[in-house]
Structure 1
Amino acid sequence: MEILRYAAFTDRPDGGNPAGVVLDADDLTATQMQAIAADLGYAESAFVSARSPGGAAIRYFAPEAEIPFCGHATIATGVALAEREGPATLVLATPVGPLELSTGRVADRLVASLVTVEPWVDAIDPAVRTQLLHHLRLREEDLDGDLPLMLSFAGNIHPIVPVRDTATLTALDYDFDGLRELMAAEGWGATVAVVHRLSPRVFEARNPFPPGGVREDPATGSAAASLGAYLRARAELAPPATITVYQGAQVGRPSVITVDVPPSGGLTVSGGAVRIDG
């Protein structure tokens, strides 16, 4: 068994979001996968099994828990497979349902794209909203008055928290333990997407990740997809459209995530990945 290390949504090893990738995990138990993910300490690691010419099964583990879906580890897996076997399109069996993962070359660089499951967007309970802002240490005046705080799902449930300016986003300093307790109570197993709209189709984001035992996720593909679903549901863009999300600068690992938003159905998340260890 080989444990690969990739940085996703970047073109350099010290950028993006690191992920562990195991391409031959058939003989690993869940306990062993969890131990490997904890030892790596990355936001998530991906474990691939039951490989066939047209597909595979995949599971995702953060340092402290298994999660249903992870965008950046899927992108890393796609690039890792393409480097060894050539670009292809696969159907991945995931805990949230089947996902299409394709890889190809763009300007001499391997890029992977995944199509999410059917998304949904919903309002958040007012009392939960109050608690969330409290633990994020945000005030009402810190929020973007044109974009409401809502829940969005494209594989994981992410609260979408739009803030008014870059300064507010940069200053984000949240209560880790309090937010972790709230997210556990609400069944939110991934990140909170705190975002700022730079232009209609360009956003910057920070993603606290207490459920995984990680202070902040440098690049969150599922949150970027959930943001795209949120914008489509609110008619903030006219599909088909593409949004770009910049994330990770505040933790020293800048990343770029591209999301293609069709008129309906799953969204396509794309990005590159590079080996961390050469």
Structure 2
Amino acid sequence: MSTEIPILHMTAFADGPTGGNPAGVVPDASALTESGMQTIAARLGYPESAFIVDPAVDEDRRHLRIRYFSPGAEVPFCGHATIAAAVLLATDRGVGEFTFETAVGPIVIDTQMTTGGEVTASFTSVSPLIRELQPDVAEELLGLLGLTPADLDDDLPLRESFAGNWHPIVAIREQGTFDAFTFDPARVRLLMDAQGWTGTVTVVHAITDAFDDFEARNPFPVGAITEDPATGSAAASLGAYLRAMNKVAPPARLTIHQGRHVGRPSILKVDIPADGGITVTGTADIV
């Protein structure tokens, strides 16, 4: 049945023609079972794919129900697939506001047309949470990344941050260390599963002292993938983390560069209000 279901191949957050994070988008997955969606996601092999399981909740074409699957499992929320799906919908149904019902709650997405004719999408996360990273987990995580506490940015302590998925935030002080770290995907996957990290491990380097410009690398071992090119939920989690740690003065805007290390340069814009959800903005294109 999956071969009869229209599937759009898209990329989100691209910074140039070869960049961005690929996602499959199924505009109408109402006839698919959970196993059918998982099979399609595994066959596509993208970090995540989005399945619109109800294209019009209560016949409202701007209110939809959506599910996300990686090649290995269902994911509660996915930022880049949300951006891709919203841009696709805006192109078909007109720009404006959409509401996606997700496993973590309703997500509001604003879509706009730029003066150059490009559609942008901005999702606002659920209310974020921040918590301490347990010392034994922090030690294991750093060891798996080949890092020591001396490699970390003293201004940005280890934490876990949630804005749809839980992400550990690891901030590296020196650019060279950030560029050079490596990891064993299988061992990182085991730790992520044990800790319930359904998103990515978020490793960042602050480009500016004002903490408004970062580069990110996001280990995400699943299938043939080891490192995610652009992670919207992690971008929201980083914004929430910076606000909670009093490193920015809201309202603040943050730029995140990601994907350079896997040959898919990406750029994510993050708006941090004084409270509530974090807004992440990007573009998407059909491949």
Q: TM bucket by the smaller chain?
A: over 0.9
Shift of 1:112: 0.4
Distance 1:92 1:241 in 2: 25
- Which residue of 2 is the match for residue 62 of structure 1? 70
Distance 2:97 2:155 in 1: 39
Distance 1:11 1:273 in 2: 10
Q: Report the CA distance shift for 1:23/1:54 in structure 2 as closer, same or farther (over 3 A).
A: same
Which amino acid counterpart does residue 18 of structure 1 have in structure 2? P
> How big is the alpha-carbon RMSD for the aligned residues of Structure 1 and Structure 2?
1.2
> Are the equivalent residues in 2 in contact too, given 1:11–1:272 (CA < 8 A)?
no
- Which residue of 1 is the match for residue 239 of structure 2? 228
> Are the equivalent residues in 2 in contact too, given 1:11–1:273 (CA < 8 A)?
no
- Which residue of 2 is the match for residue 130 of structure 1? 139
1:48 has 2:48 as partner: no
Q: In the alignment, which of 237, 248, 254 is matched to residue 259 of structure 2?
A: 248
- Which residue of 2 is the match for residue 158 of structure 1? 167
Distance 1:236 1:214 in 2: 32
> Are the equivalent residues in 1 in contact too, given 2:52–2:66 (CA < 8 A)?
yes
Which amino acid counterpart does residue 58 of structure 1 have in structure 2? I
Distance 1:55 1:91 in 2: 5
Shift of 1:25: 0.4
- Which residue of 1 is the match for residue 86 of structure 2? 78
Shift of 1:107: 3.0
Which amino acid counterpart does residue 64 of structure 2 have in structure 1? A
1:90 has 2:101 as partner: no
| Number of residue-to-residue matches in the alignment | 276
Shift of 1:12: 4.6
1:22 has 2:33 as partner: no
Which amino acid counterpart does residue 229 of structure 2 have in structure 1? P
Distance 1:216 1:254 in 2: 12
Compare 43-52 and 68-77 and name the one that shifted more. Answer: 43-52
1:189 has 2:198 as partner: yes
Distance 1:166 1:31 in 2: 42
> Are the equivalent residues in 1 in contact too, given 2:71–2:222 (CA < 8 A)?
no
Distance 1:188 1:10 in 2: 25
1:119 has 2:124 as partner: no
TM-score, structure 1 as length reference: 0.96
> Are the equivalent residues in 1 in contact too, given 2:15–2:267 (CA < 8 A)?
no
Distance 1:57 1:38 in 2: 21
Percent of matched pairs sharing the same residue: 52
> Are the equivalent residues in 1 in contact too, given 2:205–2:214 (CA < 8 A)?
yes
Q: In the alignment, which of 10, 13, 19 is matched to residue 9 of structure 1?
A: 13
Mark the runs of 5 or more structure 1 residues left unpaired by the alignment: none
Q: Report the CA distance shift for 1:11/1:247 in structure 2 as closer, same or farther (over 3 A).
A: closer
3-state SS of paired residue (1:266): coil
Mark the runs of 5 or more structure 2 residues left unpaired by the alignment: none
Q: In the alignment, which of 94, 112, 131 is matched to residue 104 of structure 1?
A: 112
3-state SS of paired residue (1:210): strand
